[in-house]
Amino acid sequence: MAFDINQPPSAHELMISAIADQLEGLRHIAVGARSPIPGSAAHLARLRSGGQLRISILGSRKHSPFVNGAMELFDCAGQGRIDAFFLSGGQIDGGANINLVGVGDIAAYPKAKARFPGSFGSAYLYYVVPRVILFTLEHTPRVLCPKVDFVSAPGTSPPEVYRPGGPAALITPKCSFAFDKTKGRFRLLSTHQGVTADEVRAATGFDYDAPAEVPTTPVPDADTLHMLRTEVAGLIADTYPAFALRTWGVERARSA
């Protein structure tokens, strides 16, 4: 597959760069399964750190120290040894609640309108990992909705609940949000290149705060783009070969 390394950044590359900017200065980042964009951002952040940042990508034989998968991930998180994790959802609302179960009358399963993959350990990790970055590849009112149909993991908790973890940001193909834990709502941080604040507002089903003048998300510079399209692409191809091939035209290296 031919790929022009000089072409402008794609929506995926803008998201990857925006997520990587959220990871500076951290020690250990964990990435769950089926998360190629956060995984790419983790690799980019590690390269920027000169290899000082530790990353653990579930499902990767080369880029995870875990031999017992999620069990060790949960243990590390509970011990405070993971600084950042990533969660998505079929629905995300303005309170940073996520829905990974389904839409419609969930109690009517299997007749519910739609079913999602399931919550797995999202609620636990949402409580204990200090910096949880939410992401979605679809920025529409259907996904970013006023209120989730089912709460797989709550964005906030009552004051009496001990909760060292929680949402810090939400990255979409259109913009970056920061989450204000005091107010329990999102604030528009920046819009991605070519997207206006009005377009973000029209595509978002929940209300949020925004500055009078919304800045543009920093565009990855030439060095970052080159790093993404060469080193990061080669690294992520080990875990997500289809994503690397589709995004950058890079195939997974064959074992000797």
pLDDT of residue 2: 54
Q: Please, which residues have CB within 8 angstroms of residue 150's CB and are 6 or more apart in sequence?
A: 99, 101, 102, 103, 106
pLDDT of residue 61: 79
d(CA 70, CA 68): 7
pLDDT of residue 110: 64
3-state SS, residue 179: strand
pLDDT by residue, tens only, the chain of 256 residues: 456 667 899 999 999 999 999 999 999 999 988 899 999 999 999 999 999 999 999 888 788 888 776 889 999 999 999 999 999 999 999 999 999 998 987 766 666 778 888 888 999 999 999 999 999 999 999 999 999 999 999 999 999 999 999 999 999 999 999 999 999 999 999 999 999 999 999 999 999 999 999 999 999 999 999 999 999 999 999 999 999 999 999 998 765 3
CATH T-level topology, domain 11-248: Glutaconate Coenzyme A-transferase (3.40.1080)
Domains of the chain by residue range: 11-248
